[in-house]
Structure 1
């Protein structure tokens, strides 16, 4: 670590992962997560050194499975260093960002995929679409998505929606019999039926590059463009799949107001209409994604989040 100190950069000891990151990684990833957290300060220090970066600060809110640092490059340009856990969902993040090349998404400056390290253009981390009123946020979100949905060519590196949801459906089937899912049998069965039908007919619908985790919190204010997407978990597949997260955005606010069921259904109809996707397919993917995520939350002890997602699925 001598060289890091020599360049006036923090040593690994100063690069402790933020509390929120430690909490989520420990709860979600178990032993593998704890091992990664132990290695993380060293990974970050090494990357700062190799890429000649000076740290301004660690972003405490940061990512749920990644450490985010505001840095300056050797030329003094502001940038962001992101070092995240590499898993099935995140392993192609750099490839998607490189494919978009700044069009609708944050620009990738450098990457070391094996370590989950990326140097990204700096956006306004504290200003996401959540800062806008919901109708305006939805309008902006739709505009960004239309730039992201580019055709994928043969031989692309991304998993398909059918493959990814097939794996999730298998896990959901296993979890159906667990004590924590005791009350959710009917809605789980509906979600599994929807996934089987939608994945089975995937060839009939145009396939594009999808963001995979698209919601208001993952779209930040930028300098070159008003709004840019971050944090993709990319897949190749139909547009309706990407809209399923958007359909349940700001869910706690939605649940707290009267007529939530009618509002949720109206939202699906409006999104389908605005982005020219089949409303039935959007409804099906919204049910599957909400149930799958809800049961996953129940499995890691997040009862409130889990029950809210299952309730949303039941409204549709």
Structure 2
């Protein structure tokens, strides 16, 4: 099978690839091996696809539809596999096979072009929040095959990168975000398995259930950290609205109440995650994204 990786994936991996990384160059061969090993028939590569993995729509020999997903090691595909196995299809896409090839997942086929983002905003937030609630379960025993990164560990790496790349223009926001993190980590209220990168586009229409989450970058910690990313969904619409700041504050309140999360903790993690994403976007040259995210952060 000859194919070109989606340009969205090529651009995103180019922003983060370490020196000497050749995952993209080896990707066609890896896909061929994965398809041949399972005797799959390829339908198409999902376009535009994601920013950290290649998604291929396939069928087994008996006609069962499936998704073949390949991701570089730095995006932790084995952690994704472990989380999906732990959830067992409750609220999330289901694994169709165990670990056969490192970095290769075979998943149930959802409707890849239909996410909750296609719904009106209020309905989309409601459905997304309901899906997220089902994922917040006790993490597996740490003595098992996979130990997940903690919120403290992940945000510690992010905090160091923020400090290293913050200039005078963004320093006040970075300082506020780092202070919020320190305060939040001092007394986490619960310890749950989290999706890690949850947003509306990560919830797809399914057959088993109306909506199922995909693409986790799992982490363990408090639920407010997970919910924080959902707060800024459709950030471009918020920024364009004259009432964007007020809408954002109402959204924090509504989501916190609906999922029984402390409102101030949600606001704090939303601030940290928005500033971290904005500073990272500046660092890799995505000035437009950075501007949106940092303006949004200033409202919190």
When normalised by structure 2's length, the TM-score is 0.95
Q: Which residue of 2 aligns with 1:106?
A: 93
- Does the 8 Å contact 2:199/2:229 carry over to 1? yes
Superposed displacement of residue 287, structure 1: 0.4
In structure 2, stretches of 5+ residues that fail to align are none
Superposed displacement of residue 29, structure 1: 2.0
Q: Which residue of 2 aligns with 1:76?
A: 63
CA gap of 1:141–1:206, structure 2 versus 1, over 3 A, is same
Q: Which residue of 2 aligns with 1:308?
A: 292
Q: Secondary structure at the match of 2:114?
A: strand
Q: Which residue of 2 aligns with 1:217?
A: 201
- 1:185 and 2:171 matched: yes
- Does the 8 Å contact 1:106/1:230 carry over to 2? yes
- 1:24 and 2:36 matched: no
Superposed displacement of residue 32, structure 1: 4.7
Matches within 5 A, 1:112-131: 112=99, 115-131=102-118
Q: Secondary structure at the match of 2:97?
A: strand
Q: Which residue of 1 aligns with 2:244?
A: 260
1:165 to 135, 147, 155: 155
Matches within 5 A, 1:234-273: 234-273=218-257
- 1:58 and 2:42 matched: no
CA gap of 1:185–1:22, structure 2 versus 1, over 3 A, is same
CA gap of 1:238–1:244, structure 2 versus 1, over 3 A, is same
CA gap of 1:37–1:206, structure 2 versus 1, over 3 A, is same
**After superposition, what is the alpha-carbon deviation per residue over 1:161-204, rounded to whole angstroms, capped at 9, x for unaligned?**
1111111111111112xxxx3310100000010111112222xx
- Does the 8 Å contact 1:216/1:246 carry over to 2? yes
RMSD: 1.5
Q: Which residue of 2 aligns with 1:199?
A: 185
1:230 to 193, 214, 229: 214
**After superposition, what is the alpha-carbon deviation per residue over 1:223-245, rounded to whole angstroms, capped at 9, x for unaligned?**
11000000000001100000111
- Does the 8 Å contact 1:86/1:114 carry over to 2? no
Following TM superposition, the consecutive aligned residue runs of length 4 or more in structure 1 with deviations greater than 6 angstroms are: none
Between 150-159 and 187-196, report the one with greater CA deviation.
150-159
1: CA distance between counterparts of 2:81 and 2:213?
Answer: 13
Q: Secondary structure at the match of 1:69?
A: strand
**After superposition, what is the alpha-carbon deviation per residue over 1:3-33, rounded to whole angstroms, capped at 9, x for unaligned?**
xxxxxxx2xxx03312222122112325455
Q: Secondary structure at the match of 1:119?
A: strand
In structure 1, stretches of 5+ residues that fail to align are 1-9
- Does the 8 Å contact 2:78/2:102 carry over to 1? no
CA gap of 1:77–1:249, structure 2 versus 1, over 3 A, is same
2: CA distance between counterparts of 1:131 and 1:240?
Answer: 24
1: CA distance between counterparts of 2:248 and 2:4?
Answer: 41
Q: Secondary structure at the match of 1:224?
A: coil
Aligned length in residues: 297
Q: Which residue of 2 aligns with 1:138?
A: 125
2: CA distance between counterparts of 1:90 and 1:210?
Answer: 15
**After superposition, what is the alpha-carbon deviation per residue over 1:115-152, rounded to whole angstroms, capped at 9, x for unaligned?**
31100000101100110001001111111111111112
Between 226-235 and 107-116, report the one with greater CA deviation.
107-116
